[in-house]
A = this chain, B = another copy of it.
């Protein structure tokens, strides 16, 4: 965590406080940020975020802000209460033969058609279940 902002002695820094301190640091107005994000984040909405009226802004909003502020997206996500743990699952057994598909490099069209066919296959199997 960055203790960059003068958060004093009180508890944790909220997302709103953090975002507000960055903006005032950069001497930007709410409307300037609104412009910078191409209206993705309205000044009114940003105000609500900064005053913690919004509990969990959407990731894309956070991304826009992280982008123009030049701060870490993941950190904002975390402060907003999202799980950011992109932990590598132990996906050991899952592959195997399926890798054959990876070799083939399906086009999107092919993939969707295969996907449809897979659904069809499985709906067929419902009647004659079991291996």
Contacts and interface: CB of A to CB of B under 8 A. Distances in A.
Interface string A61-75: 001001100111110
A12 to B, nearest CB: 6
Contacts of A102: 95, 98-99, 101-102
Contact of A121 (B59, B95, B110, B127): B110
Interface residues of A, number: 61
A84 to B, nearest CB: 8
Given A83-B60, A108-B131, A121-B113, A101 B98 contact: yes
Interface of A: 2, 9-13, 17, 21, 24-25, 56, 58-60, 63, 66-67, 70-74, 77, 81-83, 85-86, 89, 91, 94-95, 97-119, 121-122, 127, 129-131
